[in-house]
Structure 1
């Protein structure tokens, strides 16, 4: 984003339909009525500029990956006869020059002027053809909704209206009706297509639900979303977005990685300094490489990258599995003559990958064994960084580095993979470690060499066996390994390598079997990703679901009913912590709920609001060995939600488990917490689309993290007590993150499980941090959190790579 005003939303004033509103942001000069100019054709229009600032604006734009504290509203007074003009143009004055920031044909303005501000967030279809549509409409008066088939015949629909507090920031004129949100259900007609019409105050808008409208997980169709994105952002950005979605490639990272590499590339002076470095420990590193009819130019480039290492105490151990009459023999003999550190073992028969690699291991005499492929490249400081780490911590048994890809001609680097520190649950979801992988020779002897029965995923199986036995595992956050690949192709058809993915699944299953953990491993959302389902014993442990609540009985009912109707888990209790409600309907609802469901217990907290204190109080009334902390404005989506969380939580090494949460519009609200986001901590991938994978599929893979949100968090009761519960000095903010860090300090894992999915209608219950007292409290609690955890804030989150930005939630490169 440049210094120009960036329009996020364009609409009409809720009440005054001769006023057009541009809502947006600007990282440059302050936006005022003096530097914004609006015209209908050449007629200048009156303009007023207002702004909003503070915590809620910051949260909102962090969700979009932007560090923004102020949002502007440009109010434009339109002429009476819009139809007699051709277009609206808006300009910003920058350095004495007027630059256009917005343009809209008058015909579009006329159409919008007669429409309700209306949005469909989600569409789903259940068994039996029952359709559910949710969204919102912004108007100053209550609005009506009508559903018709394509012939115009009215369709009976059940419509529920509810609050949408989250919309308040978009409509500062303050005339938004209280029940802006809606959810409607109707029976899908034979004609399939249905038109939803919203009308209010003489305005009307329509939305057509087609036969394929209910997409994955009940979202509006890709076509509908794509057209909306095109309308908001223009053709160029829409095309880029389409490529990103189809190819699952982040073009922003691709475009910037070349520039990033130039900025961070190790200099010649630094390389010379490394060559002069004298380490106390100078282990011999054996680089083992299986060869199979390798193209000679690639082989020579690989060898050259090894010979250019700034750490020179290595040996390069080749096993040529090409078989009799190998095309590599002459080249290998020549290389050996020129460099005594190159060793080669030949066989007369062709060999598969595991056997071939094991032959190379047999001739290795080093203290550490490094694994590499025959046509890839190592950065010149790769071995130096490994030896440096071993000198700093001699207990290290396993090392791995970050990696990227290099084009076949060796001229361009792309797809950098900046990895997490050791992350066993991410490793069981995919082989994220891959290259460069280095293991101490003693550990290799202990676990054994590569196993032929896992060919295709032999490295995955080997890595899992190594990390199971390693005393210390070191991650070096530098892209020291360059994997040669075609940049513009989708590689080989994945279906052709089904044997490799099947081997990977068996490797993860074997890992659990060795550890005595009852689990079933299946393929994940894409080939190469894996899902673990932990076996829950026949005697199901009691889960105590603790839900704080103040009024908002409709939200609470939706939350409770979603569990009672969707989850089949048999052994639960609800501890609803009543927190100073004032509405009679709330207490009537409590009585009804307890009468109808013996598993529901309402307990009363009579002190001032304190999220930590309320939850600690709830635990004192709970009987379960597992505690599920749940906000009253959540709704579970998948039937196995509780089992998904419980399965991980039952593991002895796990203390807490979090879930994947969505806003009502099916964007990501929570996919884990990263320490350092926004200066303190924030949600990973907030604002991403529900169907997004995230950086190297991190949204859709189970993984260990430093923290998860307590809006939905399961904890072992024993761990809760050992950690001392929630810190009651953190009344509202950071208490869940602080609690997770206390669990981590006990040596327990905090796991993000994307297969437990819920909606989180955030901020409905407590509203926004929009008063001086709330802001002061927030700052006070932020300072306490910073004082309690200075080390992790200084060193960085171990599950988030230092090369990635803390200013955005999408794992972008740090600029």
Structure 2
């Protein structure tokens, strides 16, 4: 298989200039019922289907596969104008005065100011002439919806001070000089400190309390608008603030001129940020994470998703993880589970195993239990009652000595090295309450992608979801 074809199949290169790069496994997983039947009836390969039916339907903006349908062009709305006052200010980055005024007219702003990322020292002086209440920030290359401000103003009518608002947006990816490309609608959510530190993904047209913005400290320069917005928001969210979101796509970002982190991270091969820009984003996130949010151990770059970061918890040899495993017979499953823990738990994390025997009768299981509990960190409690997963774990909880509880089914087999350290890393954030790992089916496809639960945060399970075998994430 040629290198180019391999890159196309893995979603690192686009098959055609106006098709987004998409892993062939993700394309297969997302095909709708009609297209699956068509492919089987005509006995054509996935790549042939993508090159013919998939491409044709995509160009006509017809539904073919979820992995492609999300890239259909989206028309920005036109919002009916209302009566606005001078309390709204538009900040246009890296544009001429003429371009800034043009964007303001399109969006509905009366007042506009422009500033270069290379000379942020001039911004405080530029802002002194305005007494606005709200400021919105965009890039000169952005395309604003007609009357975008009127949509924002409608959401801000009930907003109090100390408020940050985001909106949905559209990322435009131009692949070739002839203009061919594709668009990706971003369904965003309200910003929060932890999501900013780990995922980025600042939604669309950032609008915030003008007084908060003027209190921020700016670096002399930034490599991209995303870095400026990230720095500003991480300063503002040090203290509790109100966040809100407008679920309208009010702006299109030109990915080549104004790279923007999508809601879902992307592989490095398809990341529009330069290494210099990624280094700056990494530096800003790490600085704020350590200094203001009590995240011990800091952040580390996610190896699969460029621009995203993982929490990193410092090693604490005093911590103890109590692992609870309910079972009834099935000695091969349970013994394999325990053995995988012993092999992959990691050397820096202490653990104990609580076996919960729910009425095993097989002699082989009983003999295995007798041998297993000879280990210093393994004990067994027998509960002869009707199976109830929650009740069994609650009863066994009384035996646990650990600082953390790991609830484990006996058909789970650990395959990742130092898995307990990896599971504990998200607890570097002081408000983390629960963590779930990625689960794979025996054939390697994904059963569950994993989750970190923090009070007040959206429960976000990473795409692409069940039964997908590809490691790549569709950006």
Classify the TM-score, shorter chain. 0.7 to 0.9
Residues 400 and 436 in structure 1, CA contact (< 8 A), matched pair in contact too: yes
Corresponding residue for 1:522? 300
The equivalent of 2:455 in structure 1 is: none
Distance 1:259 1:462, change over 3 A: closer
* TM-score, structure 1 as length reference: 0.45
Cα distance in 2 between the residues matched to 1:482 and 1:102: 40
For 1:352, the equivalent position in structure 2 comes to: 118
> Unpaired runs of 5+ in structure 2?
1-27, 56-62, 260-266, 453-459
**As a proportion of its length, which structure holds more strand?**
1
Compute the displacement of 1:430 (Å): 3.4
Residue 435 (1) aligns with residue 204 (2): yes
Matched, 1:532 2:311: yes
SS in structure 2 at match of 1:469: coil
**3-state SS of 1:419 partner:** coil
Structure 1 residues 252 and 599, CA gap change in structure 2 (3 angstroms) = same
- 1:193-249 superposed Cα distances (whole Å, 9 cap, x missing partner): xxxxxxxxxxxxxxxxxxxxxxxxxxxxxxxxxxxxx75x4622389999xxxxxxx
1:628 deviation in Å? 0.9
| 2:235 maps to 1:465 | yes
- 1:449 aligns with one of 194, 217, 225: 217
SS state at 1:654 partner: coil
Q: Indicate if the aligned counterparts of 1:443 and 1:469 stay in contact, CA closer than 8 A.
A: no
Within the candidate set 408, 418, 421, 1:643 is matched to 421
Match of 1:499 in 2: 276
Asked whether the 8 Å contact 2:449–2:461 carries over to 1, the reply is: no
Give per-residue Cα distances to partners, 1:343-362, cap 9 Å, x unaligned. Answer: xxxxxxxx715335555444
In 2, distance between residues paired with 1:650 and 1:673? 15
8 Å CA contact 2:73, 2:183 repeated in 1: no
In structure 2, which of residues 66, 69, 74 is the aligned counterpart of residue 261 of structure 1?
Answer: 74
Aligned CA distance change for structure 1 residues 64 and 421 (closer, same or farther; 3 Å): farther
SS in 2 for 1:564: helix
Deviations 1:614-662 (A, max 9, x none): 1212212212121111111112222232112223235331111111111
Distance 2:329 2:110 in 1: 69
Q: Which residue of 1 aligns with 2:111?
A: 315
* Structure possessing the higher radius of gyration over alpha carbons: 1
Residue by residue over 1:411-448, the C-alpha shift from the partner in whole angstroms, topping out at 9 and shown as x without a partner, is 987112212333544322232115311121222234x1
RMSD: 4.0
Structure 1 equivalent of residue 48 of structure 2: 235
Counterpart secondary structure, 1:645? helix
CA gap of 1:416–1:569, structure 2 versus 1, over 3 A, is: same
Residue 481 of structure 1 pairs with residue 251 of structure 2: yes
**CA separation of 1:372/1:453 partners in 2, compared to 1, >3 Å: closer, same or farther?**
closer
Q: Of 365, 369, 389, which residue of structure 2 is paired with 1:586?
A: 365
Give, in whole Å, the separation in 1 of the partners of 2:205 and 2:49.
38
Deviations 1:321-374 (A, max 9, x none): 5xxxxxxxxxxxxxxxxxxxxxxxxxxxxx715335555444443111211111
Tell me how far apart the structure 2 counterparts of residues 502 and 405 of structure 1 sit (CA, whole Å): 22
Say whether residues 1:306 and 2:104 are aligned partners: yes
In structure 2, the CA distance between the partners of 1:650 and 1:630, relative to structure 1 (3 Å rule), is farther
Q: Which of the pair has the greater relative contact order for Cα pairs under 8 Å at 6+ separation?
A: 2
Secondary structure at 2:370 match in 1: helix
Q: Distance in 2 between matches of 1:576 and 1:432?
A: 42
Residue 382 (structure 1) aligned with residue 180 (structure 2)? no
Residues 379, 103 of structure 1: CA spacing in aligned structure 2 closer, same or farther, 3 A cutoff?
A: closer
Q: Is 2:455 the counterpart of 1:687?
A: no
Relative to structure 1, the CA distance from residue 631 to residue 464 in structure 2 (aligned partners, 3 Å threshold; closer, same or farther) is same
Distance in 2 between the 1:671 and 1:651 partners?
A: 20
Q: Is the 8 Å Cα contact of residues 577 and 602 (structure 1) preserved in structure 2?
A: yes
* Within-5 A mapping of 1:245-256: 252=65, 256=69
Q: Counterparts of 2:438 and 2:469 in 1: how far apart (Å)?
A: 12
What is the number of residues matched between the two proteins? 414
| In 1, Cα distance between equivalents of 2:219 and 2:380 | 57
Q: Which structure 1 segments of 5+ residues have no match? A: 1-62, 69-91, 93-98, 105-229, 243-249, 322-350, 675-680, 697-815
Mapped partners of 2:129, 2:93: distance in 1: 12
Establish whether residue 663 from structure 1 lines up as the match of residue 441 from structure 2. yes
Distance 1:407 1:238 in 2: 20
Give 2:327's aligned residue. 549
**d(CA) in 2 for partners of 1:622 and 1:455?**
51
Q: Distance in 1 between matches of 2:428 and 2:173?
A: 45
Q: 1:611-622 alignment to 2 at 5 Å? A: 611-622=389-400
> Where in structure 2 are the equivalents of 1:148-167 lying within 5 Å?
none
- Distance (Å, rounded) in 1 between the aligned partners of 2:209 and 2:461: 37
Task: Name the TM-score, length of structure 2 as normaliser.
Answer: 0.75
Please report how far the alpha carbon of residue 494 of structure 1 lies from its aligned counterpart in structure 2 after TM superposition. 6.7
1:151 alignment counterpart: none
Query: Aligned with 1:574: secondary structure?
Result: strand
1:397 counterpart (146, 163, 174): 163
Which piece of structure 1 moves more, 282-291 or 626-635?
A: 282-291
